[in-house]
Amino acid sequence: MKKLIAFDLDGTLALSKQALDEDMAYLLGRLTQVAMVDIISGGDWPQFEKQVVSRMPAAAALDNLIIQPTTGTKLYRYQNGAWDRIYADLFSAEESKQIRDALQAAVQQAGYAHEQTWGEQIEDRGSQITFSALGQQAPVPAKTAWDPDGSKKERLRAWAAERLPGLEVRSGGSTSIDVTASGIDKAYGMRKLMAELRVGMGDILFVGDRLDPQGNDHPVEAMGIRSVAVKNWQDTADYVEGWLES
């Protein structure tokens, strides 16, 4: 039996930037009662609070729930009745400005400066800077329709990567790209998690919707952690329910 079940968030546990469905929240709460549960994604802590933490049922064992925002460059645990940030690998102010400027230039060059947007496009998350083509608050249908084959996002990612040598520029959510320090991906987050909990790869099961070679969940599988591919949160709910019953 695995000691820890790790999950991607958007597309795996919930729709993009949407709160957990009641059924999903109930199943995660049950899961925390029998195993450690980790959730790792590109969003920052406030997004996790809204999508996950606020939805946890009263019976959830929060001591067994670990939150890894910004692709694992931060880690939060519930201790002594409150959520504590255990670590955070942050950019300097100079690095943050360089990244924001490069993203603005890439948007212009890729021709996306005049897209309809909902909220700010660039979000500085301290250890990760994320560009969302349609804005941070874009509705899910607009996101789905904007770039169904991923080509627009890839063009933007390539422009930004040219301007940010030495940094990681990766595909994030359906309309976003994430910029982190070199070597930062979900495998990095898993290694930090293993060090924090003193567990090995064989103790972990990972569940994600982007395990394909271009997906941001793929590095976890590539490092050797057993991984389960799902298509949406309903798939995940079915898998978790089956795991609990077994």
For residue 231, what is the domain's CATH number? 3.40.50.1000
Q: How many C-beta neighbours within 10 Å does residue 79 have? A: 11
- Kindly state whether residues 170 and 209 are assigned to the same domain: no
Q: How far is the C-alpha of 242 from the C-alpha of 246, rounded, in Å?
A: 6
CATH code of the domain containing 124: 3.30.1240.20
- Kindly state whether residues 79 and 189 are assigned to the same domain: yes
- Kindly state whether residues 172 and 66 are assigned to the same domain: no
Per the listing, tokens 């090995």 go with 200
- Kindly state whether residues 23 and 43 are assigned to the same domain: yes
Domain around 108: 93-181
Q: Which of 160, 181, 202 is the last residue of a domain?
A: 181
Tell me if 24 sits within 8 A of 236, measured CB to CB.
Answer: yes
Cβ-Cβ contacts under 8 Å for 125 (sequence gap 6 or more): 43, 44, 69, 70
Q: Which of 165, 181, 197 is the last residue of a domain?
A: 181
pLDDT given for residue 40 in this prediction: 98
- Kindly state whether residues 110 and 170 are assigned to the same domain: yes
Taking the chain (246 residues) in runs of 10, the rounded mean pLDDT of each run is: 90 93 97 97 93 97 97 95 95 92 84 81 89 88 88 87 90 85 93 96 96 91 97 97 93
- Kindly state whether residues 26 and 85 are assigned to the same domain: yes
Torsion angle in degrees (nearest 10) through CA of 51, 54, 57, 59: 120
- Kindly state whether residues 29 and 52 are assigned to the same domain: yes
Kindly tell me the sign of the dihedral angle through the C-alpha atoms of 217, 93, 119, 147: negative
pLDDT given for residue 108 in this prediction: 83
**Angle, CA of 166, 168 and 173, to the nearest 5°:** 160
Tell me if 219 sits within 8 A of 168, measured CB to CB.
Answer: no
223-227: long-range contacts, CB 8 A cutoff, minimum separation 24: 223/187, 223/190, 223/191, 225/6, 225/190, 225/201, 226/2
Q: How many domains does one find in the chain?
A: 2
Enter the pTM of the model.
0.82
Q: Which of 163, 181, 199 is the last residue of a domain?
A: 181
- Kindly state whether residues 48 and 9 are assigned to the same domain: yes
- Kindly state whether residues 10 and 76 are assigned to the same domain: yes
- Kindly state whether residues 122 and 170 are assigned to the same domain: yes
- Kindly state whether residues 166 and 202 are assigned to the same domain: no
> 3-class SS at 116?
coil
- Kindly state whether residues 193 and 84 are assigned to the same domain: yes
Q: How far is the C-alpha of 21 from the C-alpha of 141, rounded, in Å?
A: 18
Q: How far is the C-alpha of 64 from the C-alpha of 226, rounded, in Å?
A: 20
Of 147, 186, 127, nearest in space to 9 by CA: 186
pLDDT given for residue 53 in this prediction: 97
